[in-house]
Amino acid sequence: MSKPIVATTSLAGCFGCHMSLLDIDERILDLIELVEFNKSPIDDIKTFTKQCDIGLIEGGCCNSENIHVLKDFRKHCKILVSLGECAIMGGLPALRNGIAIKECLDEAYLNGPTVRDNDKQIVPNDDELPMLLDKVYPCHEIVKIDYYLPGCPPRADLIWNALVALVTGDEMKLPYEVIKFD
């Protein structure tokens, strides 16, 4: 039987969840025995080359590119997992949700105390740039999400247990220590 295929991405996240994935330490050797990676920052494969079994999503959606990538993941993965606070609830980026987008842009590019050398008062608007969304959305409001792994970041053991459970089909181990926050 071929190995299950895993894809991962970081949308509006800080890569902390990916760091936590790497925190499984030497078990990463077991992991590459257990699964094959496709599109992921871990192996730097930029586009899907085949259908995958598991997609791990870090971060929520703050711009049109995030939406595009997330929908692409849904198309290519049998199971999607929201990994961490931002994917599940928007997280830190969602702090801007109470503020109008224009106000955010003005503060960042025109009026903020650290703004320098913007005499032409330009707010970046190149068509190559993704379009910002009115607010940061959790992934499950955009596509169907099958599982959620909470934490900021989720602990390495939690990610490991989840992956092993998904791959082996066994029930997941969820001791209190793995999902408590303080």
Residue whose CB is less far from other proteins, 127 or 171: 127
Tokens representing 171 are: 């029930």
CA 107 to chain CA centroid, Å, is: 26
State yes or no: residue 64 binds other proteins (CB under 8 A).
Answer: yes
d(CA 61, CA 86): 9
Token representation of residue 153: 């970041």
Q: Does 118 bind other proteins (CB under 8 A)?
A: no
Among the residue ranges 10-18, 29-37, 42-50, 129-137, the one whose residues contact other proteins (CB under 8 A)? 129-137
Task: By CB under 8 A, name the one of 16, 150, 153, 154 that touches other proteins.
Answer: 150
- C-alpha angle with apex 173: 167 to 175, nearest 5 degrees? 155
Number of residues in contact with other proteins under rule CB under 8 A: 31
Residue 34 sits in the site that holds other proteins (CB under 8 A): no
Beta-carbon count within 10 A of 89 CB: 17
Q: Exactly one of 140, 157, 167, 172 binds other proteins (CB under 8 A); which one?
A: 140
**Angstrom distances, CA of residue 94 to CA of 7, 61, 107, 113, 156:** 25, 9, 16, 22, 24
Return residues touching other proteins (CB under 8 A).
Answer: 64, 67, 85, 89, 100-102, 105, 123-125, 127, 131-135, 137, 140-144, 148, 150, 152, 176, 179-182
